[in-house]
Amino acid sequence: MLSIASYHHLMLAAEWTPALFVFAFGACVGSLINVLVYRLPKGLPVVLPSSRCPSCEHRLTWRENIPILGWLLLRGRCRFCRERISAEYPLVEACVAILFLWCYVVWYLPDLSGAGVSVRAIQPEWAKNGVRETWPSFAVLLILVGSLVAMTIVDFRTYMIPLVLTWVPAGVALVLHPITGLLQGSSGFRYGSADLGGWVIALPTNTGLWWMGAAVGAAAGLGVSGVLIKLGLLRRSFEDYDEWEQEALRQQRAGDTSASPGGSEAEAAEATSDVPEMWLQYPHARREMVRELAFLGPVIGLAWLGGAVSASLGLAPFLAQPLWLQSVVGVATGYLIGAALVWGVRIFGTFLFGKEAMGLGDVHVLAAVGACLGWADAVLTFFAAVLVGLVSAIAGGIARSKSVRMLAFGPCLAIGAMMVVFGKPLIETGLTLLFSPAEPIDLP
């Protein structure tokens, strides 16, 4: 017969064994991220060729490809040519593994207050239903976290965001959140309800009925605008940017060469080939915003029409639909509201300052966050990102050093999203203390 201590140890092992698998899975995802951040900016295929040493091009064996451990066993050097391997590889793998593990600990492990760790204050209500009932939506979270890490590294290096890193989490959310709804049927969760605050993603209620129809109309409007671009009736914004940049760089190199007769064209090209702020010099930014407004015309018009129709029909027909279908609307609402926030700031700021205020990649990032986490979390993420950006700018101004620069807004959005994921209950508590409403603030 097992003693109480033995039983306790067995239970602890049973609880932590899945967590170790999540950690290992996170390390593998981190290894994939290392491939993505190297290949995507260069336009290289992701799957083939297989991983090779960047110095000697020797194909790596499975031993060298073991996440974290492979780098440690090699002592940071290629086994074939003995060139150093960047420590960034194991650091990214370990970072993603720890993030995945922390997500699992917060979402599903019992309270560890006896061990001096309490995570219940930040656990989402729906996670109390356990892994079996909520694994699809938890998978959405993990994929979003991995994508945000990859976006942050690429954007920090290149000031560009490969859009595939935003499309994947949004597409996964569109598939897996409804699967969570299918698992629940019509009964909803045991803990919480399939309503605004208790579901894994915000769903329309009486106060959000107009937004439900608007989301459907806006999605249709995106399709209409896409067709108009295919037909050539609308033009993509910044179509001539690459041509303008090449000409501007050519003139700048020519000027640098003539200003320093002793220098070569190769030296001038090297000095000007990496200019992340070149886009600030583009002289036609306001004109391009007119094109983007033309693209958004059908989106805004059909969104308004959809909202009006939805409000006139009432909420009952929607609530009569299965929960998985309601989840689809929740994902679409989050995606569109997230995109609208950044796109609105982009257009307004560009008209105001005459320079591109934010990149379209940032629009896609917050849209993906909204699709995965819901429209309310997208709004919170935007304001958290603004705060992160301000802190970064202040730090750069105080340091006055080239080694400390203001973050691109993409990494700010990624950090803001993590702040919301792990601190939303604390944000609700802070807002309640700030505004002192009659009842505590409970965001969807």
Q: What is the pLDDT of residues 189-247, one digit of tens each?
A: 655 544 544 577 877 665 556 777 888 888 899 899 999 999 989 888 888 888 888 88
Angle at 27 between CA 23 and CA 31, to 5 degrees: 165
Q: What angle do CA 374, 379, 383 make, to 5 degrees?
A: 145
Q: State the average pLDDT over residues 6-35.
A: 79
Q: What is the mean pLDDT of residues 113-142?
A: 75
> Where would I find the H helices in 260-322?
265-272, 285-313, 316-319
Q: Is the pLDDT of residue 401 over 60?
A: no
CA distance 330 to 337: 11
- 61-104 pLDDT tens trace: 667 678 888 778 777 777 767 778 778 888 999 999 999 999 99
Between these two residues, 347 and 203, which has the higher pLDDT value? 347
pLDDT score, position 297: 92
For residue 429, pLDDT over 70 is answered with: yes
Lowest mean pLDDT across 150-154, 217-221, 418-422, 439-443: 439-443
Average pLDDT, the chain: 79
Mean of pLDDT values over 180-191: 69
Q: Which residues contact 436 (CB under 8 A, 6 or more apart)?
A: none
Look at residue 426 in the predicted model and tell me its pLDDT: 81
- Predicted TM-score (pTM) of this structure: 0.83
Return the pLDDT at 237.
87
What is residue 169's predicted lDDT score, i.e. its pLDDT?
95
C-alpha distances (whole Å) from 284 to each of 96, 132, 281, 350 are 40, 53, 9, 10
pLDDT at 383 over 80: yes
Separation of alpha carbons 297 and 393, rounded Å: 34
Burial per residue of 188-203, b for 16 or more beta-carbon CB atoms within 10 angstroms, e otherwise: bbeebebebebbbbbb
Q: Does the pLDDT of residue 116 top 90, yes or no?
A: no
pLDDT digits (tens, 9 = 90+) for 365-380: 999 999 999 888 999 9
pLDDT at 392: 81
pLDDT of residue 149: 94
What is residue 84's three-state secondary structure?
A: strand
Ranges 119-128, 173-182, 203-212, 317-326, most confident? 173-182
Which of 264 and 397 is assigned the larger pLDDT? 397
β-strand partners of 52 = 59
Name, of 28-42, 180-194, 249-263, the range with top average pLDDT: 28-42
Q: What is the pLDDT of residue 399?
A: 65
Q: How many CA atoms lie within 13 A of 41 on its CB side?
A: 16
Per-residue pLDDT at 250 exceeds 50: yes
Percent of the chain with pLDDT over 90: 27
Q: Which residues pair with 84 in a beta bridge?
A: 77
Average pLDDT over residues 437-443: 75
Which of the given ranges, 193-197, 296-300, 351-355, 358-362, has the highest pLDDT on average?
A: 296-300
- How is residue 376 written in tokens? 């309310």
The angle at the Cα of 436, spanning 430 to 437, to the nearest 5 degrees, equals 110
Q: Which percentage of the chain shows pLDDT scores above 70?
A: 75
Give the pLDDT band (50/70/90) at residue 341. Answer: very high
- Burial code of 295-330, b = ≥16 C-beta within 10 A, e = fewer? bbebbeebbbbbbeebeeeebeebeeeebbebbbbb
Q: Give the pLDDT band (50/70/90) at residue 187.
A: low
